[in-house]
Amino acid sequence: MREEEQEAPERFEPGWRDRLWTIGSAAGRLIETRAAILQEELAEKGGLLGRGLLAFFVAALFGVIAGLLLTALLAAVLSRLLGGPILGILATFVLYLVIAGAAGWLGVKKLSGLRPFEFPATRREVDRDLEAVRRAVGVGQHEQREPAGKQDAPAPAAVSPEEMEARLREGAS
């Protein structure tokens, strides 16, 4: 018997503790790998973002310089037409003030009709959906009863879940 015991060593089945430890270490290695991949991608995207923002900054800078040069050209042309540099610069200034005032007035006019927290169509549809849900559940039917002297109207039909789903899908599209 002793030979059989030595030939077939006992195999220990790993316990819960060992299994959890194995799962935890595998999850840790997986998370480390994913974090390294994310850091690599972020570094690449960060470089692209930096170069892109720098290009937009240079474009904006030269756009402003072009606007200033256009202003100088307009002032020079008006100076020549009006007979003096002071009158040309003043005419350019007044022209720019008129354009800025008109744009500001137009912006105020357009924004005055804006109601940022009013969504009437959405509110109406949400109210209809809530009413359909109330009817399906049967909430609020007691409050809608008419006085005893009037003829009782038939109770609203319950909305099936399929009808409610179809209605919600219709409203979402």
Total domain count, the chain: 2
Predicted confidence at residue 119, as pLDDT, reads 84
Q: Cβ(165)–Cβ(142) under 8 Å?
A: no
Q: Average pLDDT by consecutive 10-residue portion of the chain (173 residues)?
A: 56 79 86 87 87 94 96 95 93 94 94 84 86 78 54 59 73 63
pTM: 0.46
The residue range of the domain holding 79 is 18-111
Query: Interhelix angle for 161-172 vs 120-137, to 10°?
Result: 170
What sections of the chain are H helices per DSSP? Answer: 2-7, 16-82, 85-112, 120-137, 161-172
Predicted confidence at residue 97, as pLDDT, reads 95
Q: Which residue has the tokens 């003030």?
A: 97
Which amino acid is it at 76?
A
Contacts 24+ apart (CB under 8 A), 128-135: 129/167, 129/168, 129/171, 132/159, 132/164, 132/167, 133/164, 135/159
DSSP 148: T
Predicted confidence at residue 70, as pLDDT, reads 95
88 and 173 both lie in a single domain? no
Is residue 148 a part of any domain in this protein?
no
38 and 92 both lie in a single domain? yes
Cα(50)–Cα(57) distance, integer angstroms: 10
Task: Write the burial class of residue 36 (CB in 10 Å: 0-12 exposed, 13-18 middle, 19+ buried).
Answer: exposed
Which amino acid is it at 72?
A
Q: What are the tokens at 149?
A: 């002297």
Predicted confidence at residue 9, as pLDDT, reads 60
22 and 92 both lie in a single domain? yes
Is residue 65 a part of any domain in this protein?
yes
